[in-house]
Amino acid sequence: MNFKKSLIGLFIVLAAGLTLYSFTHDNKNFEIAKNLDIYYTLFRELNAFYVDEVDPGTLVKTSIDKMLESLDPYTNFISEADVEDFRFMTTGEYAGIGALISKQKGNIIIAEPYEGFPAQKHGLRAGDIILEVEGKPTAEMNTEDVSNLLKGPAMRPVKIKIRRPTDNSTFEVDVVREKISIDAVPYYGMLDDKTAYIRLANFTQNCAEDVKKAYLELRNTHKPEALVLDLRSNPGGLLIESVKIMNLFVPKGTEIVSTRGKVKEWDNTYKAMQNPVDTTVRIAVLINRASASASEIIAGAMQDLDRGVVIGNRSFGKGLVQTTRDLSYNAKLKVTTAKYYIPSGRCIQAINYSERNEDGSVASVPDSLVNQFTTLKGRKVFDGGGIVPDVKVDQEGLSTLAIELVTRFYIFDFATYYAAKTPSIPGPEKFEVTDAIFSEFTGFVKKSDFKYDSETEDAFAELLRTAKDERYYDLASAEFKALEAKLKPDFDKDILLFRSEISELLRDEIVSRYYYQKGSIRATLGSDPNILKAREVLNQSAVYAGYFKPGTVISPN
């Protein structure tokens, strides 16, 4: 009798649960249908009665973008027109002329021709102004419009009309498009006799194989004891490539990252599936505020597994997984479906991705919201957003003068002018901005009657207003006037005060005109503070080992 009562009770509970589920499910479907009907009728009325003509496609695209924006920054609608750009982001391949273009002073220009690709092979240079593409003037176009015109079927020519600013000549050139594959590893080499260096720019298809080939070549040729893996400003990409790169340096079977989301059958744990290449080489991973996603998986796994030292600045804090879903009319939805969890169990996603510092870095997280985890050897690490490096390297900001010279293209334009009159320069590691070059640059800027303001000057002006309003100004008017004179921007004074950083910017831009991206990277290796710190740590085995002591706390703040 008791068994029957229990069985009847169980059936009642199950029936009630199924009824509740059915009600909830039906209610949710009704809400979806109801709101879609409201949207349709609203759109119909708007399209019919709005005072001006409206573009239905633009209206719908705007509404979709705003809807997805309310969820997170990474859930995006990809229209049919944008599918090729999306494919390029994941494969690093497209058909075009092989050049980075930008808009400067109202003109579309060649900002950087890629070495070995059509633009460079057909004689186009950084600074060249694109006047027309296939007879279409670019004056009213943006960079996206021009980029779309330059892309097209491989092995087909595209006619480009160019004006060269250094001599004001105008000419046309038929550039034959090729399949462009951007190197995920733009440079690798030796920093010294013991230390290898690999720069990884993105996580596109097969980039792990590129890293493997680069490392094996360096190991077979130079037998390094240490490796610097540079992931600074690497925005991420394909998760599986980060797993394969970690697999090069950790034993087979090691857990590297896991994903967890609402749809449980999509939850995955990713482990090293192959035998490693090297489990003993000392490793330093360089990160900064723009190192995101797959970059953070590698930096975080290196830290959690105590496999390498992380050096630089706190990373971006993007730990959300996106999956691409097909929509009608060849459109796609890139939707966030899960979060990344690295081996210690912590999530690298910033707790609140909508609140960041002005530079995009993770904002300070209250201690009450931060959780503690431990690495393989017992070091204490924390979540809250991004990867906090084992070794922090202060990143000094540029002076206002340097920023103005970059953003107003004085440094870019001088490099264009200098390269046009100088047939060759020493190798990237040897080229220096001499007194003569710097003096020439100073004259180049002054010739344009260059003027600029500073934030310090603006802040001081506000202080003066407040002092006068509160009647304190008269008490220290002489001191105020003296300080105002010192703080007032003075190009002749400031160009010497900030010569060091301006010279570095000039050096990088000039070197890139002769040796392209690889040369620009090589030029910085000898003076880069992060690389110098990495070499200091890696070249002293005892110092390196000291970072992995159990109980060490890697503070989040």
Residue 453 lies in a domain: yes
Pair (499, 462) in one structural domain: yes
Among 501, 415, 505, 411, CA closest to 450: 411
Is 293 noted as a catalytic residue in this protein? Answer: yes
Pair (256, 233) in one structural domain: yes
Pair (232, 366) in one structural domain: yes
Reported pTM:
0.83
Q: How far apart are the first and last CA of the chain?
A: 65
Pair (208, 273) in one structural domain: yes
Residue 494 lies in a domain: yes
Nearest-angstrom CA–CA distance, 66 and 60: 10
Pair (127, 249) in one structural domain: no
Question: Nearest 5°: phi and psi at 553?
Answer: -105, 120
7 pLDDT tier (thresholds 50, 70, 90): very low
Which of 181, 201, 236 is the endpoint of a domain? 181
Residue 345 sits in which domain range?
A: 187-395+538-546
Residue 80 lies in a domain: no
Tens of pLDDT along 40-70?
A: 998 889 888 999 988 888 888 899 999 998 8
Pair (217, 341) in one structural domain: yes
If DSSP codes are grouped into helix, strand and coil, which group holds residue 255? strand
Q: Is 160 exposed, middle or buried (0-12, 13-18, 19+ CB in 10 A)?
A: buried
Pair (50, 108) in one structural domain: no
Which of 147, 162, 181 is the endpoint of a domain? 181
Pair (474, 524) in one structural domain: yes
Measured N-to-C along each axis, helices 499-524 and 435-446 cross at an angle, to the nearest 10 degrees, of 120
Is 66 noted as a catalytic residue in this protein? Answer: no
Q: What is the CATH number of the domain that holds 211?
A: 3.90.226.10
Residue 85 lies in a domain: no
Residue 507 lies in a domain: yes
Which of 123, 152, 181 is the endpoint of a domain? 181
pLDDT of residue 356: 58
The catalytic position among 293, 295, 344, 512 is 293
Nearest-angstrom CA–CA distance, 253 and 444: 60
Q: Where are the alpha helices (DSSP H) in 195-249?
A: 207-222, 239-247
Nearest-angstrom CA–CA distance, 196 and 298: 18
For 159, the token pair is 């006619």
Nearest-angstrom CA–CA distance, 315 and 299: 9
Residue 174 lies in a domain: yes
For 334, the token pair is 């890139």
The catalytic position among 128, 183, 230, 304 is 304
Pair (371, 414) in one structural domain: no
The three-state DSSP-derived secondary structure of 468-523 is HHCCCHHHHHHHHHHHHHHHCCCHHHHHHHCHHHHHHHHHHHHHHHHHHHHHHHHH
pLDDT of residue 265: 79
The number of domains in the chain is 4
More confident residue, 307 or 383: 307
Pair (447, 485) in one structural domain: yes
Q: Where are the alpha helices (DSSP H) in 387-476?
A: 400-407, 410-421, 435-446, 455-469
The catalytic position among 151, 318, 518, 533 is 318
Residue 504 lies in a domain: yes
278 pLDDT tier (thresholds 50, 70, 90): very high
pLDDT of residue 13: 44
pLDDT of residue 21: 47
Tens of pLDDT along 350-385?
A: 866 556 565 555 666 666 678 999 999 999 999 988
Pair (231, 164) in one structural domain: no
Nearest-angstrom CA–CA distance, 443 and 532: 34
Residue 553 lies in a domain: no
Among 72, 46, 71, 73, CA closest to 59: 46
Pair (347, 232) in one structural domain: yes
Is 63 noted as a catalytic residue in this protein? Answer: no
